[in-house]
Structure 1
Amino acid sequence: MDVIDRIGAVRLWVAAFLASVAGLATGSTLAHRTVYDGFIWRYFWGPVAADAHNAQCAINDGESVTYGYADAVCTGVPSDAFVATPGYTAVSEVGYMIVGLFFLLGVILLLRRLNLGHNRNLFFGLVPFMLFGGVLRVVEDANDSVMGPNFGGEALIPYPTNTLLISPIIYFTVFFVTLGALLSSVALSRRDYVDSYPKTLGIIGAVLFVLTFASLIIVSVLRDSVGFYPSFLLVTVGLASVIAYGIYWLAERFAPEINRGTGYIGLVVVWSHAIDGVANVLASDWSDVFGLPFGYVPKHPANATVISITDSVLPASVTDVIGTSWPFLLIKIVVAVAIVWLFTDDFMEESPRYAIVMLMAIAAVGLGPGTRDMIRATFGI
């Protein structure tokens, strides 16, 4: 701690960041095939590039990168070539978790440096950015849909620009947009141009969300590959809101200690995960009720696991009636309520900045993916 106090936590964070970047750059230069091709490209950039090209895989033979659009192409490659497929791997998930925690620490240090984070309204000001991030990801889904085999249209957003909207790079995209909005809002507030920086921040996020959502509506009008099913959006938001507020009301009446520390922040956290759960259940098991043009395949790995287990445990006569995704919603709600319960009065008062940042991260884990699934189904993508 003496070393940290003497040098400064922010300086150490920046030094660690620069050292990591320099180490990877040096390794990629001195051992390009091993460090860059075999690690960075194979587990991190390759999957993003394959997704950006709407391909089944990307193949790196050391000389060039090609893209495969059929299983035969992706499996029939030389043994010394690296193959990357869209999505996550065990290595990339661990890597992204480490990077995420590192940047989460950076956020806490930044808020401390700027003397921010004590105001609980900061949490509410950031909620629109969680919605914005989910909708922005659907823009890339729409981009893929336009280029699909049944339409073959020109990409709305060409490569490599579209990589900014693909997981996990989109998290950094939204992070830096949000950071810019936060710094701008704080600057305006401290110069007395606005009364409240959280309110200004929320307005910026809401405008970004509305503009992005409106762009999808425009695409749905202009392109046949994108539809519009507003009933799915309304039912998802309605059910999630009823579930979240019902739990909040029951807790206030019978177990007020659950909500005592977080108040309405806890309600939003539960609502965020209810959106994720309800959207997955409706899209997985009830898509035909809304007239959706596809059989929904869960993007959420946890939901896919739940469906598999439920399908193996319950007989078909039961799952045909109630579906197989409903346990996912129950798990999301139970875990969200349990987490909210952990944020007691004492914890919120002793470490308000840390508590608010953690609650923002927990809400984003539900609302970001949940918004993507909800909006993706709303536009039939």
Structure 2
Amino acid sequence: MDTASEGIDNERTWAGVVAVTVVALVGGALAFPRQVYDGFIWHYFWGPVAADAKGAECAIRVGGATKYIYDRGACAGLAEPVAEPGYTLVSEVGYAVTLIVALLGLVFLLRRLDIGRDRSLFYALFPFMLFGGALRVVEDADNALQQAGNGAIPFPWNTLIISPIIYFTVFAMTLAAVVASVALARRGIVDEYEYPLAGIGTVVLAITVGYLFVLAVTTKQVNLFPQILVVVLGGATLVTAITWAAVERFAPEVNAGTKGIGAVIIWGHAVDGVANVAVLDWALALGLAGEYTAKHPVNRGIIDITSAVLPASITSVIGTAWPFLLVKIVAALAVVWVFDERIFEESPRYAILLLIAILAVGLGPGTRDMLRAAFGI
């Protein structure tokens, strides 16, 4: 455990590295705009997000201005820098480093606020994980509305809810809620900060999902298929109950450290797994207007392997996405097993934050897939 002076030194080092990085990027962009901004910042980070927000196939930077291309064929052979919606190896590494730096900064903040050593923070932040997935569906819905000429969120504001910028948006909102909740507790307005924190998360989640319901009632582009919610949430809860009962009976040491948090972790990843199975294999059977395809490489890889191993006579009956659910459950169990009592005793804040991140990785995409299908987007 760090001493007070060591903690301050670590915070100063972190702040210094962040400050130097920001100054280097801003200074480089001002001094060498074509090389640093156009060739790096815009090319790998802002350009793909802007192209996605504009609904373009790609974007090109010419003479300090951005030109959006809506013809896929016209994107081929353009002179760099060219940005396409999605991720690149450079951007993925950049976002991964940013995530690590942000988590370290969050640990320092929690230590300054003297919170995060117990499990209550995990449960208080649970609504925000659902909120992140729901907010992403708002962007999906607005894309559908823009194609019909009545989008409600103009550029560049819609970039705030486009991946990966949306992660920073949700992170900033959650951080503000944490600070505000702690301030309320310190001033004696509430007894514990966890209650207003969970309340704020529940309110923003309700507003977001409520907005989607309004769109379902008032627009043709957004519909409502409540059976998806029943199947995914009910299926995930059933899978979690069976898994948890088996662990309790045959391998109780797996959840000895996480306890109730372990069940939530498994449920969050079960939501992701069941949503994929329901949407990819049973969309038409569940009454959806069209079929969905897997967008993530892991999902596509599992579906391809299943299709190659099992004959069509079997996959036509049981589908090809169900192994993804098994993979998610096994991975969740492995994570739960790793977090034993010793980790919580030695580094409780790191353990809680890592478990929050692990749950968000499953529950965020799962919520988005579920709600996107439930609203027919």
TM-score by length of 2: 0.96
Q: Is the 8 A contact 1:236 1:374 kept in 2?
A: yes
Identity score, percent: 53
Letter in 1 for 2:28: G
CA distance in structure 2 between the partners assigned to 1:209 and 1:299 by the alignment: 25
**Superposed displacement of residue 112, structure 1:** 1.1
Contact 1:164 1:173 in 2 (8 A): yes
Query: Which ranges of structure 2 fall in alignment gaps of 5 or more residues?
Result: none
Separation in structure 1 between the aligned mates of residue 39 and residue 200 of structure 2, nearest angstrom: 41
SS in structure 2 opposite 1:305?
A: helix
What is residue 264 of structure 2 aligned with on the other side?
Answer: 268
**How do 1:248-263 residues align onto structure 2 when only pairs under 5 Å count?**
248-263=244-259
Which residue of 2 is the match for residue 162 of structure 1?
Answer: 158
What is the match of residue 367 of structure 1? Answer: 363
**Deviations, residues 223-277 of structure 1 (Å, cap 9, x unaligned):** 1111111110111011001111221121112211111111110100111111111
8 A Cα contact 1:62 1:81, kept in partner: no
Task: Give the AA of the match of 1:11.
Answer: R
1:11 — aligned with what?
12
Report the Cα distance in structure 2 between the residues aligned to 1:37 and 1:113, rounded to whole angstroms: 38
Given that 1:229 and 1:292 are in contact with CA atoms closer than 8 Å, whether structure 2 keeps it comes out as yes
The amino acid across from 1:67 in the alignment is Y
1:244 to 240, 246, 259: 240
Q: Distance in 1 between matches of 2:310 and 2:229?
A: 29
Deviation at 1:315, TM superposition (A): 2.2
> Aligned pair in 2 of structure 1 residues 75, 242: CA closer, same or farther (>3 Å)?
same
| Counterpart AA for 2:231 | V
In the aligned structure 2, how far is the partner of 1:365 from the partner of 1:38?
30
Partner residue of 2:73?
72
What is the CA-CA distance between 1:202 and the residue it aligns to? Answer: 0.8
Q: TM-score, normalised by structure 1?
A: 0.95
Distance of 1:292 and 1:268 partners within structure 2: 29
Which residue of the partner structure matches residue 117 of structure 2? 118
Deviation at 1:200, TM superposition (A): 1.7
Q: Secondary structure at the match of 1:8?
A: helix
Letter in 2 for 1:125: A
Matched, 1:175 2:209: no
SS of structure 2 residue aligned to 1:58: strand
User: Could you list the per-position Cα deviations for residues 56-90 of structure 1 after superposition, in whole angstroms to 9, with x for gaps in the alignment?
Assistant: 2112224421222221222253xx33221111111
Rounded Cα–Cα distance in structure 2 between residues aligned with 1:334 and 1:73: 44
> Per-residue displacement from partner, 1:182-231 (whole Å, max 9, x unpaired)?
11111111222112211221111011101100000101111111111111
Separation in structure 1 between the aligned mates of residue 208 and residue 220 of structure 2, nearest angstrom: 19
Q: CA RMSD in A?
A: 1.7
Residue identity opposite 1:99 in structure 2? T
> In the TM superposition, what are the counterparts of 1:20-35 in structure 2 within 5 Å?
20-35=21-36
**Structure 1 residues without counterparts, runs of 5 or longer:** none
| Amino acid corresponding to residue 146 of structure 2 in structure 1 | M
User: What is the distance in 1 between the residues matched to 2:342 and 2:165?
Assistant: 36
Correspondence 1:128-139 to 2 at 5 A = 128-139=127-138
Aligned residue pair count: 376
- Tell me, in whole angstroms, the C-alpha distance in 1 between the residues paired with 2:233 and 2:7: 50
Counterpart residue identity of residue 122, structure 1: L
Query: Does 1:227 find its partner at 2:227?
Result: no
Is this contact kept in 2: 1:132–1:212, CA < 8 A?
yes
Q: State the distance in 2 between where 1:342 and 1:236 align.
A: 27
CA distance in 2, matches of 1:8, 1:344: 29
The whole-number CA distance in structure 2 between the counterparts of 1:167 and 1:349 is 35
The answer (yes or no) to whether the contact 1:146–1:153 under 8 Å persists in 2 is yes
- Relative to structure 2, which stretch is displaced further, 121-130 or 63-72? 63-72
1:132 deviates by 0.5
Q: CA deviation at 1:311?
A: 2.1
Alignment match, 2:94: 95
CA shift, 1:7, in A, is 5.6
Runs of 4+ in 1 over 6 A off after TM superposition: none
Deviation at 1:6, TM superposition (A): 8.3
The one-character-per-residue Cα deviations of 1:268-301 (angstroms, maximum 9, x if unpaired) are: 0111111111111111111001221222122333
Q: Would the aligned equivalents of 1:347 and 1:355 in 2 still touch at CA under 8 Å?
A: yes
Read off the aligned partner of 1:54 and give its amino acid letter. G
| Structure 1 residue 304 displacement after superposition | 1.8
| Paired residue type of 1:42 | H
What does residue 338 of structure 1 align with?
334
Distance, in Å, in 2 between the alignment partners of 1:299 and 1:271 is: 22
Trace 1:195-234 onto structure 2 (pairs within 5 A). 195-234=191-230
In 2, Cα distance between equivalents of 1:70 and 1:183: 46
Q: Secondary structure at the match of 2:125?
A: helix
Secondary structure class of the residue paired with 2:115: coil
Q: Deviations over 1:293-352 (max 9, x none)?
A: 222122333212212222233222222111111111111110110010011112212211
**1:155 corresponds to which letter in structure 2?**
G
